[in-house]
Structure 1
Amino acid sequence: MYGVFFEDINYAADGGLYAELVRNRSFEFLPVDNQSFTGMTAWTPTTEDGGAGTATPVDDGHRLHDRNRTHLRLTLGNPDAGRFGVTNSGFNRGIAVEAGRRYDFSVWARTDAAAGTRLTVALRDTDGRNLAVATRVAVRGDTWTKYTATLTAHRTSDAGRLSVLAAGTGTVRLDMVSLFPRDTFRARPNGMRRDLAEKVAALKPGFVRFPGGCLVNTGSMYGYDAASNWPRARSYQWKDTVGPVETRATNANFWGYNQSYGLGYYEYFQFAEDIGAMPLPVVPALVTGCGQNRATVDEALLRRHIQDTLDLIEFATGPVTSTWGGLRASMGHPEPFRLTHVAVGNEENLPDEFFANFQRFRAAIEAAHPEIVVVSNSGPASSGGTFDRLWQLNRDAGVELVDEHYYNSPAWFLQNNTRYDSYDRAGPKVFLGEYASRDAKLFNSLAEAAFMTGLERNADVVEMASYAPLLANVDHVQWRPDLIWFDNDESWGTTSYQVQKLFMTNVGDRTVPTLATGPTLGPQDITGSIGLSTWATSATYSDVRVTAPDGTVLFRDDFSAGAGQWTPLAHRGTWSVSGGGYTQSDTAALDTLVKAGNITTGDYDLSLKAKKNAGAEGFLIGFGVKDAGTYYWWNLGGWNNTLGAVEKATNGAKETLISRANQVTTGTTYDITVKVRGNRVTLLLDGEVWGEFTDDRVTRPFAHVVTTDEATGDVIVKVVNAQEKAAVTRIDLGDLAVEPTARMTVISGDPGEQNTRSAEPVQPVTTSLDGVTSSFTHTFEPYSVTFIRIGTR
């Protein structure tokens, strides 16, 4: 049921799970990856003993391969004893090496010097002290040749530097400068960083979903540059990532950096096999998501991507006599990989366009490979117009498995334990491919744990689930929360990692029907201040008023007396009063929330006028505002002026309550009304009902599920107590004959606690629990997850 989702976000691959220690090893970094990048990113020209020369990244006819175009040209002018070359700073703070361990160096090189060129390869710290004995490599001939050496560290450092220096004169060309720890996971060449791979393996995941995510579907309508036949800044395409690493393309990563594709599809399949997991690749559907809304109209490109997906299945499962099965065999794996599922697309915001393409992929795959399950999705959120439309399309088409994604507040997870109770048992089934509570504290993990008891109770509907994202480099974070954090030589699991591991290693085989009583918190009226905000937009608000249903004015501001009633919460943007309106004029400012008033009744109407002056989006109308992190707002023209939505924020974590396609026209004045009746809200735009919702969910801080382990006969009682009070609980197992001593594992602590690089205070504690009978009382700690494994007779 439980697995992991790997996406190259937060520098999770290069500099992370992929064990390569040299950054920008093939000099392919370009401004298209990141505006600050050049071919010399992470490299510094270096001289020794009076050496002289120039170091220039070039793309010319001397290139190593047509898909590995840029290399480094060293033009040498050394005196007899001098050396000139380059030094690489590695990822993060440097190259981490450990005394006594071996590191495999390799480089592709060529020289026009008749007598050849001597390369000196050295590992040093930032003070220039050797970390390993320098080694020499003799380069001969003006054709590309791979040269290798082994460096054994005699000192430990997390700030190493790798220098490659050339003696003599003439020209020497370098490419694919590489340094790998010999001690990779399972000792595989071109392999995984051991500590990170071991943490993933310790979860015992049933599947690995890869390589994304937003990484997959954005930019997917773009192909090769016709002028150069060069694949740049396009979506992830698996054929770019297989074969010898020196022939693989690099590409601009959606998350703002370069990806080397050293960790490619072969390595993903091999890693899944190594940890006993099912591989679940995701291919682009040629409709973008993740805040973008574009669909391909290129029929030839669509057909090519469909064929690429069929070729992918052949690469994974085909015989060695087939084209792509033969490539797999040549890479070292003649036996097929265990591929049973392929996902098409990820979080598309254009449901009808996506589903039309999905059906094309599905038909082709099922015709050629009826054994493969083709996975669809339901868009980027847990609810809303896109979610509803895609579920309708998937249901009507009889899709087998639908991928849901959501990142919501811990309150949402505590309120949605019963989410899947009402799903149709006949299908489609659910693959919860990405979910997390928005923050990294123990309380978030407890909310996720409470939700997971609902996943297990509905395991006949929710076939698979994976927390996301998996990895984050502490020095390069594009998204949080994340399950495992790391720097260049350390890694640590978050509180959610510990909770996920407890669930994933104690799943059981069958769910036992149970009944429980416990505390609940009912829905609350929506009260608080009103708010105005913008996001990358200049807008003007006027005629703001709040009235009771009988017409009594509860708040009013026409700004004739200035903006003295308004308090900035975000302290961003430039707000001023002019022409009878309140204007935020900074089109670069995000989240510029200001609030006013204090509405204490649950029944009221908020009305105002809003005009967009310039910028990328529209308006944000707040209500029920408590503070900068707790509020509701109606976002009109959000997501680059493509969607409207109501989002609920709780302690900084947001969730979407309702959404639909929406655009705001610059210069047009809109009449906006929010009608609040307790916890029911009706939204009117220019007098027409735009949407409505009811926020009436019940919070359940005490949650449980019971499963059985058929191999051991154990009954596994899983209880989450996400509240500040201990829960004195009677557990009645009916007529079940049980062993008197059980094994109990507890994760508990301060709800605001986090695991960090400096300390990991939240850890599971396993003890024996005596006095177990078929009916016994146990006190569950405040803010805790408790698993009790009870032996049966």
Structure 2
Amino acid sequence: MGAYKGLPVRRDVAEALIDQGLTVLRYGGPMINHPEYRWKKMIGPREQRPPHRNTWYPYSSNGWGIPDFLAFCEAAGFLAIPAFNMDETPGEMADFAEYANGPADSTWGARRAADGHPEPFGLRHIELGNEERVDDSYFAKFAPLAEAIWARDPQTIVGVGDFVYGQPIADPLKVEGAASGIRSLAAHQRILQLAQAHGREVWFEVHVGTDGPRPDATFGALFSYLDALTKLADGAKFKVVVFEFNAGNHTQKRALANALALNALERDGRVPVAVSANALQPYGQNDNGWDQGLLFLNQSQVWLHPPGWVTRMVSTNYQPRHVPVDVSDDAGLGVCAARSADGKVLVVRVVNVGDRPVPAALRLEGFAPSKPVAHVEELTAPLDARNTADDPTTVQPHVTDWQHEFAHGEVRRVFLAHGFTVVRFE
């Protein structure tokens, strides 16, 4: 088993995360909302880091903290996005910006070097808060924190840790269904104005539900939230991102919901980062209700659950150029498509949440496969199916080479019930 690149990380766990095709990790959640969660408690020798009571458990050792997270993401090649408690002071956040990105001869860069990392991390993203009530009180904390970060490192993009919106937003100043209880996006407008005044980009981060087999109403509201911020932006640079697809299970039905969400986000094209909670979960030890790990581990093994396989299928078949898709005849399929930069590869992703197979015709305009065989990956199972330590491969993709018989711009295929299918034409 061993350690990964000399870090305090199990090699098998690290390699499984990498093999899953992850490109970004966010280190956040309710743990950061506890008043004792502070980044300066996470540096130095582990045995000397002060423990604290935390949100989920009465004891947290700080044996794994934000600097450890940054070192792992750097080694694994992941984009790192750490979240911070809103009660950190502006001075403490300025110190962190220097700790993360300052030269080794700066005060906090020297502390980073003493902790074993002489070179700057090159961190580009910091999130402030988690599932916050974004109102005037939040803005009063956010503004000095963001300004302190920007003053120390102007290249850092600061993110707003927003919450969940359960109803579509027609008027940004009249909001219903926000989990935080806010009734207006007026504070969001002030944040946009602040970022614009400093010539900076700001990200707004929300969470959505993918308990399955379809995403819930919070996912539909996401796009209206983005539209609402666009109305308020007045030229300010911003992005909306999703750092938590949330569910209470890790079964096939959650896999289908995640796949539908990813397809819809890719078709929309405005959300640059979307990640699923939770990346990693100890087997048999979940006691907080969020039983939703993509990758499970015990003392001797790691294995993917159906939602984790969806992530891998999407990532390993990624292509950079979106292709418009039209689904007719109310087939009940969730579809997206993308091409390679050179136009030689076309990937089509199809979700069938129904309990019956769906025959469909794929009509391809402006693309004709040059190879008679397409690569196909299919993930199908009963909605409640999951993997276990005793049988970690109950649900996994079935991989085939398909003799597709493409002719006259069309090819036909049956998409399996409760299934996610990826077809790669070349």
Q: Same fold by TM (over 0.5)?
A: yes
Q: CA 1:436–1:265 in 2, change beyond 3 Å: closer, same or farther? A: closer
User: 1:355 and 2:139 equivalent?
Assistant: yes
Please report how far the alpha carbon of residue 282 of structure 1 lies from its aligned counterpart in structure 2 after TM superposition. Answer: 0.8
- Does the C-alpha gap of structure 1 residues 417 and 710 become closer, same or farther in structure 2, counting only changes over 3 Å? farther
Structure with the higher helix share, 1 or 2: 2
- Residue in 1 that maps onto 2:109: 325
User: Equivalent residues in 2 for 1:136-175 (5 A)?
Assistant: none
Counterpart amino acid of residue 470 in structure 1? A
State the Cα deviation string for residues 109-161 of structure 1 (Å, max 9, x = none).
xxxxxxxxxxxxxxxxxxxxxxxxxxxxxxxxxxxxxxxxxxxxxxxxxxxxx
Q: Higher strand proportion, which one? A: 1
Counterpart check, 1:376 vs 2:160: yes
Deviation (angstroms), 1:772: 4.8
In structure 2, the partner of 1:176 is: none
Q: Which runs of 5+ in 1 are unaligned?
A: 1-180, 220-233, 287-301, 521-700
Alignment-derived partner of residue 32 in structure 2: 216
Are 1:207 and 2:9 an aligned pair? no
Asked whether the 8 Å contact 1:511–1:707 carries over to 2, the reply is yes
The answer as to 2:68 corresponding to 1:267 is: yes
Aligned residue number for residue 341 of structure 2: 710
Query: Quick check: 1:319–1:326 contact (8 Å CA) kept in 2?
Result: yes
TM-score where L is the length of structure 1: 0.47
Distance 1:343 1:415 in 2: 25
* CA 1:711–1:277: 2 relative to 1, 3 Å: farther
1:779 matched to 2:410? The reply is no
What is the identity, as a one-letter code, of the residue corresponding to 1:405?
H
Using the TM superposition, give the Cα deviation of residue 389 of structure 1 relative to its aligned residue in structure 2, in angstroms.
4.4
Determine the C-alpha separation between the residues in 1 that align with 2:186 and 2:348: 36
1:364 aligns with 2:148: yes
Residue pairs, 1:394-793, within 5 angstroms: 394-398=188-192, 400-407=202-209, 409-410=211-212, 413=215, 422=224, 423-424=226-227, 426=230, 428-459=238-269, 461-477=270-286, 478=288, 479-519=290-330, 701-710=332-341, 713-739=344-370, 740-759=372-391, 760-773=393-406, 774-791=409-426
Q: Shift in Å at residue 377 of structure 1?
A: 2.8
Q: Deviations over 1:386-437 (max 9, x none)?
A: 3764644224532621110133542651667765555339564211011133
| Cross-structure match for 1:239 | 40
Give the aligned length. Answer: 394
Map 1:16-95; keep pairs closer than 5 Å.
none
Q: Deviations over 1:444-472 (max 9, x none)?
A: 2112211211011122x211111112222
> 1:687-746, CA deviations, whole angstroms, 9 ceiling, x for partnerless residues?
xxxxxxxxxxxxxx4201001222683111010011111111111111323222211111
Q: Is the CA contact 2:280–2:295 (under 8 Å) kept in the aligned structure 1?
A: yes
Q: Does the aligned pair in 2 maintain the 1:705–1:718 contact within 8 Å?
A: yes
SS at match of 1:251: coil
Shift of 1:360: 2.0
* Preserved CA contact (<8 Å) 1:420 1:454: no
Structure 2: how far apart are the matches of 1:420 and 1:348?
16
Q: Distance in 1 between matches of 2:113 and 2:341?
A: 38
Question: By how many angstroms is 1:382 displaced?
Answer: 4.3
Distance 2:222 2:208 in 1: 14
Distance 1:431 1:312 in 2: 23
Q: Please tell me whether the aligned partners of residues 405 and 435 of structure 1 are also in contact (alpha carbons under 8 angstroms).
A: yes
The one-letter code of the counterpart of 1:487 is N
Quickly say closer, same or farther: Cα 1:519–1:725, change in 2 above 3 A: farther
Partner residue of 2:11? 194
In structure 1, C-alpha distance between the alignment counterparts of 2:364 and 2:222, rounded to whole Å: 25
Q: Is the 8 A contact 1:407 1:438 kept in 2?
A: no
Q: 1:441 to 1:727 in 2, by over 3 A?
A: same
Amino acid at match of 2:394: P
Distance 1:376 1:508 in 2: 29
The AA in structure 2 aligned to 1:332 is G
- 2:171 aligns with none
The change in CA–CA distance for 1:413 and 1:754 in structure 2 (over 3 A counts) is same
Listed as ranges, the matches of 1:293-308 within 5 Å are 305-308=89-92
SS at match of 1:763: coil
Contact in 1 for aligned 2:93/2:148 (Cα 8 Å): no
Aligned to 1:184: 3
Flag the structure with larger Rg. Answer: 1
Contact 1:416–1:451 (CA under 8 A) maintained in structure 2: no
2:99 equivalent to 1:315: yes
Runs of 5+ consecutive residues of structure 2 not aligned to the other structure: 168-176, 196-201
Cα distance per residue 1:510-567 (max 9 Å; x no partner): 21112112537xxxxxxxxxxxxxxxxxxxxxxxxxxxxxxxxxxxxxxxxxxxxxxx
Report SS of the residue matched to 1:502. Answer: helix
* Cα RMSD, aligned residues only: 2.4
